[in-house]
Structure 1
Amino acid sequence: MIISVPATSANLGPGFDTLGLSVDLRNRVEFKPSRFFSVSIKGEGESNPRLKGNNMFVSIFNEHYQRLTHKKQNFKFQFYNSIPLSRGLGSSSAVIVSAIATAHEAAGVRVSKRRILNHALVYESHPDNITPAVMGGFNVATVEKNKVFSQKKHLPDYLRAVVVIPDKPISTAKSRTTLPKSYSKENAVFNVSHAALTVAAFFNEDWEMLKIATQDRFHQKARMKMMPELFTIQKTAYEQGALMSTLSGSGSTFFSLCYDEDAAGLAARLEQRFPQFAVKILNLDNHGLTVER
């Protein structure tokens, strides 16, 4: 049995801790009962021995498997990781979601995606990454009484994501310390209006509106100052026709959305300007969490 979860890009400019979408870059875990517990990692993180010995997936899996079955069972886990670690593409959310889903499948308990999403909230209090990881597509989400309430928009196949992945991370915890302790009413109104306009643009498929809608005054500039090259990435993306260009989560990845026919040119220009960084053209994902039996 294989569980897979897509990468995500959160915030999307003004939608701080609220907006996110998923892209077709997946982490997969294959598992089966075994006489002995074992973990094998291929792809991202395979050279990091700490991930085998102190594995967040295994910890969450065991917690839920024992809750569901009231017994212990050894499993062999084989991870195939494509999502870069600590780069703002939802690698932690992918681990959390896949661990919970895998535990339910291993226990033989069918559960809705909404239930998995609410379980994931225990480990990740912000719903902007975990929601698209589970649901796929573009999502706006909020939390009320320890539950995620969200709406999803299916993304058309004529759009592409172009992501620039720097060679070093930006710590989410550290980047949050750079943010203001309070915001002026003017800036709060600016972000509320732009986040609302971003949601409307996605649901109405008014892609030309996104360049205006995705402006932000809450977090992006402060975080981007930690890696000044990000300002040039954004400027270059817009010069090459990106529909929107925003910091992915807390960074360091930068996410741009464009039409299919513009993706190759945009990616080539970014590769030329930033040869030290990885540039990927990705399809958007509408499936979210998937189970292959």
Structure 2
Amino acid sequence: MTGSVSESAAAASGSHSGDARTVVVRVPATSANLGPGFDTLGLALSVYDELVVTALPDGRLEVDVDGEGSESVPRDDSNLVVRSIAYAFEAVGRRMPGLRLRARNVIPHGRGLGSSGAAVVSGLLAAKGLLEGDVELGPETLLRLATELEGHPDNVAPALFGGLTIAWMDEDGPQHKKLLVHRGVSPLVFIPEFTMSTSVARSLQPLQVPREDAVFNVSRSALLIAALTQSPELLLAATADKLHQNYRAQAMPETDKLVRALRGAGFAAVVSGAGPSVLVLADGPGRRLQAADVAAAATDTPWEALMLAVDFKGGTVREYAEGST
């Protein structure tokens, strides 16, 4: 995605004039869990949704959506981005203005790549931009609001902050730690045509697991941090999981088949989020081409292969200034 997309959309929305402030938001896709790091680890990826929002003084709401989900995304105040903007304004005791919202969605919906988390973060960052100079929405506040809206922090943390994030909850609310990923880690995502409901995926997991499985995942999660930050050659062992993927396999047989084929060939393949996409954490760019060949031979199901980078910046917001680049 290029800057010209944002600039042309912003120009169509109108530049800053009086109360009609316009902000431009960009938020990355995310992959959560990463195998053993269930509800804890998340990675930001170089696929982005873009949003241009103008504050309107007359209370109108205009929503235009292009790209992923454009046929089904609501155009009224039930839109998740609009609800997130409203949630932020209410949280700081400000009245939300009218909005003109132009969204260009690229993150696939219902595929385990954090599309709902990206929508939440997009709305909160838009509110941050619109409120600038009046109320400051800092990182801790943004993470808290995003977690309240999304229900858990593992997707919204990397969407907000980029890179690899460890997210957890304590008595003070959601917390995170951002880590830089080793330059040798090369993500590859296989995206199918079918979708998967996160709530359905979660319903397939038992409330209790064997102690041995819990210990297994603790060890692999610790190893995964080392593999992603220092030792990519350990990624295959580090991405093994016994807490969630096997339980969800019955609902995603084609995903399970692809993960098993890739791992059998030596690739660190995991279910991305709740699925059904498959994330491969290759230990070098060239290895991704080999993984794509394995996937093509392993299943008759069509999979779109995206060779991506780790996004290190996270979500961004800036005020649109006419003539800027």
1:240 shift after superposition: 5.4
- Equivalence for 1:52: 75
Maintained 8 Å contact 1:139/1:153? yes
Deviates more, 1:156-165 or 1:183-192: 156-165
Q: Distance in 2 between the 1:156 and 1:134 partners?
A: 20
Partner of 2:65: 41
Q: Which residue of 2 aligns with 1:3?
A: 25
Instruction: Trace 1:3-22 onto structure 2 (pairs within 5 A).
Output: 3-22=25-44
In structure 1, the partner of 2:220 is 194
Q: What TM-score, normalized by structure 1, do the two folds share?
A: 0.92
Distance in 1 between residues matched to 2:289 and 2:227, nearest whole Å = 24
**Gap regions ≥5 residues in structure 1:** none
CA deviations over 1:61-87 (Å, ceiling 9, x no partner): 123224446334112100011111111
Secondary structure at the counterpart of residue 283 of structure 1: coil
Question: Which structure is larger by alpha-carbon Rg, 1 or 2?
Answer: 2
Cα-Cα RMSD: 1.9
Alignment partner of 1:254 is 2:294: no
Where does residue 236 of structure 2 map in the other structure? 211
Counterpart residue number, 2:10: none
How many percent of aligned residue pairs carry the same amino acid?
31
Q: Which ranges of structure 2 fall in alignment gaps of 5 or more residues? A: 1-22, 320-325
Select between 58-67 and 264-273 the one with higher mean Cα deviation: 264-273
User: Which of 94, 105, 108 is the matching residue for 1:81?
Assistant: 105
- Relative to 1, partners in 2 of residues 1:241 and 1:218: Cα closer, same or farther, differing over 3 Å? closer
Partners of 2:216 and 2:295 lie apart in 1 by 30
Aligned equivalents of 2:121, 2:182: Cα separation in 1 = 24
TM-superposition CA deviations, 1:211-257 (whole Å, max 9, x none) = 11211111101112212112331233335553x11111111111001
Q: Secondary structure of 1:127's match?
A: coil
Report what 1:91 is aligned to. 115
The 10-residue stretch of structure 1 (252-261 or 229-238) with the greater mean CA deviation from structure 2? 229-238
Where 2:155 maps in the other structure, the secondary structure is helix
Distance 1:60 1:17, change over 3 A: same
Aligned-partner Cα distance in 2 for 1:167–1:154: 32
Shift of the 209–159 alpha-carbon distance from structure 1 to 2, 3 Å rule, reads closer
Change (3 A) 1:221 1:92: same
CA contact (8 A) 1:118 1:146 kept: no
1:156, CA displacement in angstroms?
A: 3.9
Distance 1:20 1:172 in 2: 16
Q: Cα deviations across residues 181-228 of structure 1 (Å, max 9, x unaligned)? A: 21121111111111111123223x211112112111111011122121
- Between the aligned partners of 1:175 and 1:235, the Cα distance in structure 2 is 18
User: What are the equivalent positions in structure 2 for 1:83-162 lying under 5 Å apart?
Assistant: 83-108=107-132, 109-162=135-188
Q: How far apart are the structure 1 equivalents of 2:79 and 2:217?
A: 37
Question: How far apart are the structure 1 equivalents of 2:258 and 2:240?
Answer: 15
Q: How many residues align?
A: 290
Give secondary structure in 1 for the equivalent of 2:241. Answer: coil
